Amino acid sequence: MKTKIQTCIIDDEQDGRDYIALLLENEFPEIQTAFQASSVEEAYIYLSKNSPDILFLDVQLKDGTAFDLLSKFRAIDSRIIFITAYENFAIQAIKNGAADYLLKPIKKIDFIIAVNKVLDAIKKSKNTPGISLNENKISLPTLQGFKMTNVSDIIRCEADSSYTTFYLTDKSKVIVSKTLHEFEEQLTKYNFFRIHHKHLINLFHLKEYIKGKGGQVIMADHSILDVSVRRKNDFLSRIEFME
């Protein structure tokens, strides 16, 4: 059983890895550096078998990029802090679920702020009543109790004021008295995308996109959902990345 927050540092430069590890040791004794890597291959082998709580990820690695690494996984459970010398990667990093984005040379204060933000998010996800994720499962509170559901079995979530309806692969649905925003924060790292203020979809259950001002999607349950105009470009970029 883990007694500390586990982290993995992936940076092509030894000095960069050493500096991050030293900052963690001095400022965050509750965090343990479990592994370090300098390449996509090394990181992939480790992450295939391990799920660190926090991933410090340089964009440019010895044998590729951070995005090459992420494309090898359907989802990464870790909170990712991108670290790079290239400011132009910020938007792509955010689209790939970045918890934060730091530029080299790393400023100590910026590092501390970023890590504290991630630690707060981890604490919140563990302590949020009625919402818990454990090995790709989510607990959905109901009037009768709760339903443990595989994240992969969720096709889409639909907002209705302060309620959220979950549509599942077995054709059932679960209504939960919590906002869609609360679940969005939990499910984004599992390749869910909010295409509209009412709709959060599992991209692995997306069947078709129909062009239009914002466009529409057809899901595995044959539902047809609108994509908001302001979310269209981000949505299409995300789909392009998946491919």
Same domain (yes/no): 122, 141 = no
Q: What is the pLDDT of residues 110-150, one digit of tens each?
A: 999 999 988 887 777 665 444 444 447 888 887 777 888 88
| 87, 14: one domain | yes
Tell me how far apart the alpha carbons of residues 41 and 43 are, in angstroms, rounded to a whole number: 5
> Which residue has tokens 């979310």?
231
**Same domain assignment for residues 148 and 88:** no
Backbone phi, then psi, for 110, in 5-degree steps?
Answer: -65, -40
Side chain identity, residue 101: Y
The domain that holds 45 is classified in CATH as 3.40.50.2300
Number of domains composing the chain: 2
Rounded distance between C-alpha atoms, residue 85 and residue 102, angstroms: 8
Which structural domain range is residue 65 located in? Answer: 5-127
* CATH number of the domain to which 196 belongs: 2.40.50.1020
Residue 67 in domain = yes
User: Tens of pLDDT along 218-239?
Assistant: 999 999 999 999 999 989 888 7
Cα–Cα distance, 39 to 66 (Å, whole number):
9
